């Protein structure tokens, strides 16, 4: 399957993407994680991305699309992928459509995670991620690691993302509403959008998502 995951910062995209990708046997491709890996390796792309990310803005389309395309062309993505955080505006959505058309491929669904803004703020304030791999995500209250400050998956140090400060989160939410939300209408016109609530226990949301994707597939 080829799926796009969309939702505001803190909706639980990363948390759900890891689980859904495993259940569906497809790679989880997160542009945020790819940027953070570049930042920790101190590449030129990482240095450029950091300045935009720390301000809560989108990284320019040209570099983002090239990076996403490169990742989607890796052999493990041949039979499908779960995109998390890409596309993030209408021009990226158009670029993705073009890329898929060139490869004679189509998207199967756009999974839209709905969550109220006050919940987003609580989730982001308590989020801690792993220095070794930013897809290892915890929360100080909702998803506590066994040992405080230590990643359950790999033993890495847990830290708070630089862009999780209150001011930057407010900016990221504004960017989400103005630039990312319009892609939902873009994909509604293609009858691809499946909306689910992202409230409740993590495993229940995964189940909800799998059932919604199954219904979507059966209805085609």
CA–CA distance from 165 to each of 39, 53, 212 (Å)?
18, 12, 33
User: Residues 133 to 192: which contact ligand AP5 by CB under 6 A?
Assistant: 137-139, 142-143, 163, 172
Is position 87 annotated in a ligand binding site?
yes
> Is residue 31 part of the contact set for ligand AP5 (CB under 6 A)?
yes
Instruction: Kindly give, in sequence order, each residue whose CB lies less than 8 Å from that of residue 75, ignoring residues fewer than 6 positions away.
Output: none
Cβ–Cβ < 8 Å for 3, 52: no
Q: HEC profile for 98-148?
A: HHHHHCCCCCCEEEEEECCHHHHHHHHHCEEEECCCCCCEEECCCECCCCC
| Count of all residues that appear for the chain in the document | 220
Q: Measuring CA to CA, how many Å separate 76 from each of 40, 69, 70, 73, 165? A: 24, 13, 12, 8, 35
- Select from 7-15, 74-82, 182-190, 210-218 the region that touches ligand AP5 (CB under 6 A): 7-15
Closest approach of Cβ 102 to ligand AP5, in Å?
A: 19
Q: 3-class SS at 181? A: coil
Catalytic residues: 13, 88, 127, 161, 172
| Residue 14 binds ligand AP5 (CB under 6 A) | yes
Shortest separation between residue 3's beta carbon and ligand AP5, angstroms = 15
11 is in an annotated binding site: yes
> 3-state DSSP call for residue 96?
helix
Q: Does 127 bind ligand AP5 (CB under 6 A)?
A: yes
> Residue 60 or 217: which CB sits closer to ligand AP5?
60
Task: Enumerate the known binding-site residues.
Answer: 10-15, 31, 36, 57-59, 85-88, 92, 127, 137-138, 161, 172, 200
Task: Enumerate the known binding-site residues for AMP.
Answer: 31, 36, 57-59, 85-88, 92, 161, 172
Interface residues with ligand AP5 (CB under 6 A) are 7, 9-15, 31-32, 35, 52-53, 56-59, 64, 85-86, 88, 92, 123, 126-127, 137-139, 142-143, 163, 172, 202, 205
């Amino acid at each position: 399957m080829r799926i796009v995951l969309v939702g505001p910062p803190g909706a639980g995209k990363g948390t759900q993407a890891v689980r859904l990708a495993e259940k569906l046997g497809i790679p989880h491709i997160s542009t945020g994680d790819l940027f953070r890996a570049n930042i920790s390796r101190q590449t030129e792309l990482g240095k450029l991305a950091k300045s935009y990310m720390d301000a809560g803005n989108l990284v320019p389309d040209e570099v983002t699309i090239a990076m996403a395309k490169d990742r989607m062309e890796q052999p493990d993505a041949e039979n499908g992928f779960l995109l998390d955080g890409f596309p993030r505006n209408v021009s990226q959505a158009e670029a993705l459509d073009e890329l898929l058309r060139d490869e004679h491929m189509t998207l199967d669904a756009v999974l839209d995670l709905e969550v109220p803004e006050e919940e987003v703020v609580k989730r982001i304030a308590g989020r801690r991620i792993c220095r070794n791999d930013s897809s290892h995500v915890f929360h100080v209250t909702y998803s506590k690691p066994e040992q405080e400050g230590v990643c359950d998956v790999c033993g890495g140090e847990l830290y708070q993302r630089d862009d999780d400060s209150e001011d930057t989160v407010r900016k990221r939410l504004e960017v989400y509403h103005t630039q990312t939300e319009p892609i939902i209408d873009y994909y509604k016109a293609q009858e691809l959008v499946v909306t689910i609530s992202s409230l409740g226990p993590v495993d229940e949301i995964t189940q909800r998502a799998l059932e919604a994707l199954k219904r979507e597939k059966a209805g085609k």
